[in-house]
Amino acid sequence: MAMHGKLRRERGLQAEYETQVKEMRSQLSEQLRCLELQGELRRELLQELAEFMRRRAEVELEYSRGLEKLAERFSSRGGRLGGSSREYQSFRKEPSLLSSLHCWAVLLQQTRQQSRDSAALSEVLAGPLVQRLSHIAEDVGRIVKKSKDLEQQLQEELLEVVSELQTAKKTYQVYHTESMNAEAKLREAERQEEKRAGRSAAAAPATATTEAGPLRKTSLKKGSRLVEKRQAKFLEHKLKCTKARNEYLLSLASVNAAVSNYYLHDVLDLMDCCDTGFHLALGQVLRSYTAAESRTQASQMQGLGSLEEAVEALDPPGDKAKVLEVHAVAFCPPLRFDYQPHEGDEVAEIRVEVELRDEILPRAQNIQSRLDRQTIETEEVNKTLKATLQALLEVVALEDGDVLDSFQASPSTESLKSTSSDPGVRQAGRRRGQQQETETFYITKLQEYLSGRSILAKLQAKHEKLQEAINRGNKEERQVPWTQYTQRKLQKSHHPRPSSQYNHKLFGGDMEKFIQSSGQPVPLVVESCVRFINLNGLQHEGIFRVSGAQPRVSEIRDAFERGEDPLVEGCTAHDLDSVAGVLKLYFRSLEPPLFPPDLFGELLASAELETTEERVELVSRLLAQLPGPVLVVLRYLFTFLNHLAQYSDENMMDPYNLAVCFGPTLLPVPPGQDPVALQGRVNQLVQTLIVQPARVFPPLTLLPGPVYEKCMAPPSASCLGDTQVEGLAGENEPELEAGIPVQEDALEGVVEAVACFAYTGRTAQELTFQRGDVLRLHERASGDWWRGECAGTRGLIPHKYIMLPEGAEKHMVGQGLQASGELLSSPESLLAMEFIHRPEPSTPPGGPSGHRRHCLVPTSPERHVEVDKAVAQTMDSVFKELLGKTAVRQGLGPAPTNSPSPGPRSPKPVGCSRLGKNKGFS
């Protein structure tokens, strides 16, 4: 077993040795191939250089002729910089007028000189340089061949030495094996001899007299002779093994030295032999080329110097000023657009009427906040723009530096590299791509900056006009008598639409059948929502993009389903997002949708057309297939969206953003198709409809029906219809009392009131106070507001959050019974309306809900007033009678269910007003 293990180890070592020798042979073959490849590379390089020189000579000659023709052509006809215009002629007569034209004149002069120099350079390149490169190629091929033969000879000698090493190793292994076997036999003989000697010593006393004594002595002698024989054999084999080992070690050292010498010295010398004279001859050729180029360039230095001076004199601001001066007619700002009144209208300024004040004040505040945000955004874009411009100029300057470096010719090993592997070329390509990306980013940021600056200018102009109008309106409001103000506020009061039942479902139903059954050309939900957004939300930021409160959306939807119009009153600007959500919900829930599924594919195909005219024509032809009532609603909707997009500076909803909001709503993707892949074309189609509604939909002459009006007024009592108003007036006519004078609903002097509830002002004009604070009231601003002060600060105070003193309240009630012209806006009418339509008393914010028999309201920090429920019932009947008389007298129909109030959207503290009135009557 030990012998088999030794054989396996020896075979492993032998295989490793053979593998090493095999790798060495492969490496030597690769060296020969590389040496031959280098020779081929040099010859190809020289051939390419010679071909380049010939082609360059042809190019230089053709270039010389082309430059001569070019200079003559532009010198004779004067170029095409400006045609024959008078401005151009003035520039041509005085080239120094524009720094760029001066550079042009110097460049033409330098071009003629360069033409002559190129002709001389062509003669040098096509003659001596090409011939010299051919000689160098022949020399390189001959030297490389001889060097290759020499290297093959050296490799053969090296392999012979390696083969001798392999023979010495095998001899050493054989003798070492024999030595080990002789040593093993010697050790075995010695063990046998020791065993015999031991037995003989133990058995000597007992066998002294026996006859076997002489026999044992003979055996011992034979054993000792065997040991001596094997000892001599072992020494002989050991000597041979030592000699073979010495030869193997000597041969090993010799081979290692030969390999090291070959790889470290011989190969390098052979490479130098292959390069003999190559770099020197190539350098001489390139120096000759450099000298020729230098002589050519030396004759151009004077022209280049003149051109450099002209380039240094380039003045972009000066040229821009000169161009603007010469072309003053084209660049002079046009005259400002003057206001042209229509048919004798003498009003030439923005008027802030009482009815428009609630719209203009929030709009001015919205524009102010939009101005602040847009200013910050524009400044950030400007910073980014300047940084991008600096980076772009640095990249351009760096690329120009590389162009200058490419003209420097230096003979070195870098010339052997191919153009595709040149790191400078790859780096230049990356810089070029980076420059293009930077240019694109710069143009994008410039567009954003210019657009933002334009938006800032427009918003600033609007804000200044609105601010002037608001200030002017405040002055006029202080001068308007209270009676006129109350009458104007009375005209603004809203009245709800009467309830009615529809024969067809509104949400989730067929719109065409609903229009036919209800007689509404535009469904009430569409008309009312559009009117509400027109009056309150054209400037609302993110309209149709921000989701409304779901409970409020459901509440408004249910009211429309019952046939009511919840947007006539009861909704404020806080409900804008919810109203917009109701409008989108209505169109999204229609079954079938407005755009039939069978036209979906053809409509999307129109979005792929390139020109707008083609898209509009195709979409108009497709939409003509829809029923007339549907087209009327679509025309109404998209005309409204077009108007809404005109306020994108303030609401940030341009046509594309609106298309993103209404695309999935109006054109749902049919089942079985990919919504993600088609959504882009859907948005493009909806954007076309928003931008071009007048061209897509039929005009009023071809399709009669309601048309969206940009300027709308709040709904008034006419919403009820003339028949209902006359009926209400006829019922209460016998109870009219004539001759009642109209008096102002304001107290003489200053009145102190107590705050029933805490209130936080929403604007700078509204006061903030806590429960129990003493407030000083100066005059009535409206039916819901007082002008007064709290802790020395003047402002508006909500009427329903305070309680008046006893005497002042009685005085107000007495005047309120006579002031029939202001009854609907007075606190008594508000109380009566709430007792008629809301019999259950409301609790203040934070208080318990349900009926209460007694209500304690603080009239001062130390006193409470207790009002019984019977008194409230008595007052209820009195105010019902008052309300009926006054409503018939004013012709306003029934009182509204809820009094509009500009206060915050919180439960109205009705209980406070009721107790004030109860205290006066009791």
Contact between residue 782 and residue 899 where contact means Cβ atoms under 8 Å apart = no
| C-alpha R_g of the chain | 54
Residues 45, 176 share a domain: yes
CA-nearest of 792, 775, 791, 777 to 747 is 777
Adjacent-strand bridge partners of 798:
785
Residues of the chain with pLDDT under 50: 1-2, 79, 82-84, 209-210, 403, 409-420, 489-490, 492-499, 717-748, 810-872, 874, 878-879, 882, 885-922
Q: Where do we find the tokens 């009430």?
A: 524
Q: Where are the beta strands (DSSP E) in 159-228?
A: none
Which of 736, 771, 803 delimits the end of a domain?
A: 803
pLDDT at 12: 62
How many other C-beta atoms lie within 10 A of the C-beta of residue 432? 12
Separation CA 84–CA 59 (nearest Å): 35
Cβ within 8 Å of residue 675, ≥6 positions away: 664, 669
- The percent helix, strand, coil of the chain (3-state, each to 5) is 70, 5, 25
Six token digits for residue 660: 């993103």
Q: Where do we find the tokens 């007569």?
A: 93
Six token digits for residue 918: 């109860």
Question: Is residue 709 included in any domain, yes or no?
Answer: no
DSSP string covering 873-901, please? HHHHHHHHHHHHHHHHHHT--SPPSS---
Which of 672, 696, 720 delimits the end of a domain?
A: 696
Residues 7, 96 share a domain: yes
> Where do the H-state alpha helices sit in 344-422?
354-405
Residues 12, 151 share a domain: yes
Question: Is residue 557 included in any domain, yes or no?
Answer: yes
How many other C-beta atoms lie within 10 A of the C-beta of residue 73? 10
Residues 171, 29 share a domain: yes
Residues 373, 252 share a domain: no
Separation CA 412–CA 6 (nearest Å): 59
What is the CB-side half-sphere exposure of residue 53 using CA atoms within 13 A?
25
Distance of CA 252 to the CA centre of its chain: 72
- Packing angle between helix 655-666 and helix 576-588, nearest 10 degrees? 40
Contact between residue 682 and residue 669 where contact means Cβ atoms under 8 Å apart = yes
Residues 570, 443 share a domain: no
Six token digits for residue 231: 């000892």
Pairing, β 785-790 against β 793-798: antiparallel
Separation CA 549–CA 577 (nearest Å): 8
Contact between residue 531 and residue 494 where contact means Cβ atoms under 8 Å apart = no
Residues 436, 532 share a domain: no
Question: Is residue 181 included in any domain, yes or no?
Answer: yes
Question: Is residue 410 included in any domain, yes or no?
Answer: no
What one-character DSSP code corresponds to residue 413? Answer: G
Contact between residue 201 and residue 149 where contact means Cβ atoms under 8 Å apart = no
Question: Is residue 383 included in any domain, yes or no?
Answer: yes
Cβ within 8 Å of residue 776, ≥6 positions away: 750, 751, 752, 753, 788, 789, 790
Contact between residue 867 and residue 919 where contact means Cβ atoms under 8 Å apart = yes
Cβ within 8 Å of residue 106, ≥6 positions away: 303, 306, 307, 310
Separation CA 392–CA 439 (nearest Å): 7
How many other C-beta atoms lie within 10 A of the C-beta of residue 149? 9
Residues 464, 527 share a domain: no
Question: CA triplet 575, 579, 582: central angle to 5 degrees?
Answer: 140
What one-character DSSP code corresponds to residue 262? Answer: I
Residue 274's domain is classified under what CATH number? 1.20.1270
pLDDT at 876: 56
pLDDT at 169: 86
Adjacent-strand bridge partners of 787:
779, 796
How many other C-beta atoms lie within 10 A of the C-beta of residue 686? 27
Please give the tally of structural domains in the chain.
4
Residues 769, 621 share a domain: no
If residue 798 lies in a helix (H) or strand (E), which one and from where to where?
strand 793-798
Hey, CA dihedral for 348, 354, 356, 362, is it positive or negative?
A: positive
DSSP string covering 316-361, please? HHHHHHHHHHHTHHHHSPPPPPPP--STT----S----HHHHHHHH
Six token digits for residue 366: 């919205």
Q: Where do we find the tokens 């000697």?
A: 197
Domain range for 455 = 364-397+430-476
Distance of CA 285 to the CA centre of its chain: 57
Residue 759 carries which side chain, given as an amino acid letter? Y
| 759: helix, strand or coil | strand
CA-nearest of 258, 277, 254 to 267 is 258
Residues 590, 472 share a domain: no
Question: Is residue 374 included in any domain, yes or no?
Answer: yes
Separation CA 650–CA 367 (nearest Å): 6
Name the burial class of residue 429, with classes exposed (0-12), middle (13-18) and buried (19+) by CB atoms within 10 angstroms of its CB: exposed
pLDDT at 818: 41
Residues 377, 229 share a domain: no
Residues 555, 451 share a domain: no
N- to C-terminal Cα separation, the chain: 130
Instruction: Quote the longest CA-to-CA distance of the chain.
Output: 182
Q: What is the 3-state secondary structure (H, E, C) of 498-524?
A: CCCCCCCCCCCCCHHHHHHHHCCCCCH
Instruction: State the virtual CA torsion across 156, 161, 165, 166 in degrees, nearest 10.
Output: 20
CA-nearest of 825, 849, 844 to 915 is 844
pLDDT at 89: 56
Cβ within 8 Å of residue 540, ≥6 positions away: 366, 533, 573, 576, 577, 651
Residue 677's domain is classified under what CATH number? 1.10.555.10
Distance of CA 302 to the CA centre of its chain: 53
Distance of CA 318 to the CA centre of its chain: 38
| 106: helix, strand or coil | helix
Name the burial class of residue 864, with classes exposed (0-12), middle (13-18) and buried (19+) by CB atoms within 10 angstroms of its CB: exposed
| 790: helix, strand or coil | strand
Contact between residue 867 and residue 855 where contact means Cβ atoms under 8 Å apart = yes
Separation CA 659–CA 692 (nearest Å): 13
Question: Is residue 213 included in any domain, yes or no?
Answer: no
Six token digits for residue 587: 């169109």
CA-nearest of 666, 803, 814, 688 to 740 is 814
Q: Which letter, b or e, does each residue of 613-650 get, where b requires 16 or more Cβ atoms within 10 Å of its Cβ? A: eebbebbbebbeebeebbbbbbbbbbbbbbbbbebebb
Answer left, alpha or beta for residue 805, where phi above 0 means left and psi between -120 and 50 means alpha: beta
Contact between residue 32 and residue 145 where contact means Cβ atoms under 8 Å apart = no
Q: In what order do the strands lie in the sheet with 793-798?
A: 793-798, 785-790, 774-780, 751-755, 802-803
Separation CA 485–CA 90 (nearest Å): 68
Question: Is residue 300 included in any domain, yes or no?
Answer: no
